[in-house]
Amino acid sequence: MAEQFVTYFRVSTEEQGDSGLGIEAQQEKVRSLVESRGGEVIDEFTEIESGRKSQRPVLAQALEAAREAKAVLVVAKLDRLARDAELVNRLSKEVASNGFLGLSFADLPDVDATNAAGRMILGVMAQVAQFEAERIGERTREALAAAKARGVKLGGRREEAVKAAQARKGEALERAEALRGLIAPFVEAGQSQRAIAAALNDAGHRTERGSLWNHKTIGRVIYRLCL
């Protein structure tokens, strides 16, 4: 029997999620890893959230799917799973005990989270990822402080961009709510995102842009509806 994988992809902003920016590269890395092991992907999950946040509903769904299927959870890069060392360490320990079959990263294909050496490597890499995230934040604050000291007016265009993003998010939520009655029964029945997409396409239902549904577009609707 082929090794089974549950894939998890993450982008940091709604704009990246809607455009697919960053997702394609992650998918290619994961696809190559799965093919190199002669495995098969049984479910896919995509989340739009910061890597520094530990509360991530889609990641929780991916972990649950991996546990139930006794599958390997595979991620393109360590920082796509998290930039939080504590979260990475907790997941590594769960793999080692009785959580799910494995935790693999396409950029670290030889690291095995089920043994002590692998967990040590992942712990160190997670600390580096967290350090980089924190350092970026520090540099941003330093740059803003320096600009303010020079008399640069801050906030104008950013405030407009924030308002525009909030408006787009509100519209996206409204569109998602209109689909709740259609998608919620599939989710409650335990159907995968791919299966839901196939069912909607077979029924002739199309996305807002007139395109076919896929696991990514279904995933975004499910995320917005908190299903």
pLDDT in tens, 123-167: 787 777 777 767 777 777 777 777 677 776 655 555 565 566 666
- What is residue 45's predicted lDDT score, i.e. its pLDDT? 92
Domain count, the chain: 2
148: its two tokens: 């303010």
Q: Which residue has the higher pLDDT, 52 or 139?
A: 139
Is 59 in the same domain as 168? no
| Most confidently predicted of 18-27, 45-54, 182-191 | 182-191
What integer pLDDT is reported at residue 31 of this predicted model?
92
Q: Which of 12, 19, 32, 104 is catalytic?
A: 12
**Is residue 101 located within the same domain as residue 166?**
no
Does 115 lie in the same domain as 10? yes
Q: Are residues 203 and 123 in the same domain?
A: no
Examine the domain organization and report whether 120 and 175 are in the same domain: no
Higher pLDDT, 202 or 35: 35
Q: Is residue 19 over pLDDT 50?
A: no
Distance CA 102, CA 96 (A): 8
For residue range 173-211, list pLDDT tens digits in order: 777 788 887 788 888 888 888 888 888 888 778 887 778
Structural domain harbouring 68: 4-127
d(CA 224, CA 212): 19
pLDDT in tens, 73-115: 999 988 788 777 787 777 777 776 665 678 888 888 888 777 7
Q: Which position has the higher pLDDT, 212 or 21?
A: 212
> Are the CB atoms for 5 and 42 separated by under 8 Å?
yes
Q: What is the pTM of this model?
A: 0.56
- Residue 42: CB atoms within 10 A of its CB come to 16
Same domain assignment for residues 174 and 120: no
DSSP for the chain reads -PPEEEEEEEESSHHHHHHTTTHHHHHHHHHHHHHHTT-EEEEEEEEES-TT-S--HHHHHHHHHHHHHT-EEEESSHHHH-S-HHHHHHHHHHHHTTS-SEEEETTBTT--TTSHHHHHHHHHHHHHHHHHHHHHHHHHHHHHHHHHHTT---SHHHHHHHHHHHHHHHHHHHHHHHTHHHHHHHHHTT--HHHHHHHHHHTT---TTSPPP-HHHHHHHHHHHT-
Query: Is residue 13 pLDDT above 70, yes or no?
Result: no
Active site residue 192: no
Q: How confident is the model at residue 43 (pLDDT cuts 50, 70, 90)?
A: very high
Strands 4-11 and 40-48 come out as: parallel
pLDDT at 34 over 80: yes
Same domain, 114 and 163: no
Residue 142 lies in a domain: no
Residue 217 has pLDDT above 70, yes or no: yes
Q: Which of 4-8, 24-28, 127-131, 197-201 has the lowest mean pLDDT?
A: 127-131
- Give yes or no: residues 110 and 9 share one domain: yes
Confidence of residue 35 (pLDDT cuts 50, 70, 90): very high
